[in-house]
Amino acid sequence: MGLDEIATKPHEQLAAHLAVKMDAVNLLIRERMASRHAPRIPQVTAHLVEAGGKRLRPMLVLATADLCGYDGPFDVHLAATVEFIHTATLLHDDVVDESAQRRGRPTANLLWDNKSSVLVGDYLFARAFQLMVEPGSLRVLDILSNASATIAEGEVLQLSAAQDLATTEEIYLQVVRGKTAALFSAATEVGGVIAGAPEDHVKALFEYGDALGIAFQIVDDLLDYQGDVKSTGKNVGDDFRERKLTLPVIKAVAAANAEERAFWKRTIEKGDQQEGDLEHALTLMQSHGALEQTRSEALNWAGRARAAIAVLPDHPVRRMLDALAGYVVARIS
């Protein structure tokens, strides 16, 4: 079932429920991405921030704060913080990956240049830190600053692991926790913290965000080999062509014989790719059950996310978050 076939999408339910707060987040983002002295900053930022996207990470902050009964103003600041961190990482990622397109539009580094993308990303990180201190909570600052460090660490780890056949599933999980799950779990955790939720509830929210982020990334990696360009916005095999060791390939390499390993070494490690190699790679992944095993892993992590918040009191937002975990894996179910 494709995502477009789901009549009522959980993230749209959340957006409707949180509409007033999200309007405040968007207003704050526009205010804080302004610069009196460097007009290129709002130009570059607006190109990415206003390009669409589900705003899932800031919604997770607002949703978990609401779920825990928060009625103050600072959930808006923290939601804007995680969106700035996310946007900064996208600007940096597109430079590192030499990307030309994001969300169906030319990337900022293509429209301007790499220097502008890196420096505006740095500016957004600085703005994020200004925002995260405003609630006056050292614990919130600790969570979000640690997440920022984990994201950077994950990106650096990916540089060395992405084309190394020695990369294990454990290392892959470290990368995923860095590049994706760290900001999900920080978003859900700070929502509970700012609301003064009991420690077991904060822990449950962290575990939900962590598992949701991991499921989210595994699905994305699987769809690179099984997806539809219309629904994913990516061509099948983009990760293979970019020589990225994602979970389906890691599983296939682990099960490979000497001849198959030589194929992976040539195509991934050395980058010597020829016509028909993608098709052969898909055949190897299917023959070793790597795609089905990856699918099972994604479903397992989505199940962990749902189990984590099952301990929280019944609440409309909790039901939406439960549905969201199912929605993330709907394309592979």
Q: What pLDDT tens digit does each residue of the chain (333 aa) get?
A: 344 444 468 889 999 999 999 999 989 988 888 777 777 777 777 766 666 667 899 999 999 999 999 999 999 999 999 999 998 888 867 666 666 555 556 665 655 667 777 888 888 889 999 999 999 999 999 999 999 999 999 988 988 888 889 999 999 999 999 989 999 999 999 999 999 999 999 999 999 999 999 999 999 999 999 866 555 555 788 889 988 899 999 999 999 999 999 999 999 999 999 999 999 999 999 999 999 999 999 999 999 999 999 999 999 999 999 999 999 999 887
Residue 103's pLDDT is what?
54
Residue 298's pLDDT is what?
97
For the chain, counts of helices (H) and of strands (E): 18, 2
Task: Check: CB of residue 55 under 8 Å from CB of residue 80.
Answer: no
Residue 31's pLDDT is what?
87
Q: Which two tokens stand for residue 333?
A: 């179910």
Residue type, 175: V
- The DSSP H or E segment spanning 106 is strand 105-106
Look-up of token digits 């993230």: 11
Q: Is 146 helix (H, G, I), strand (E, B) or coil?
A: helix
Residue 122's pLDDT is what?
87
Distance CA 235, CA 267 (A): 18
Q: Which two tokens stand for residue 141?
A: 């600052």
For 102, phi then psi, to 5°, come to -145, 130
Residue 99's pLDDT is what?
61
Give the number of other CB atoms < 10 A from CB of residue 219.
26
Residue 109's pLDDT is what?
61
Give the number of other CB atoms < 10 A from CB of residue 213.
28
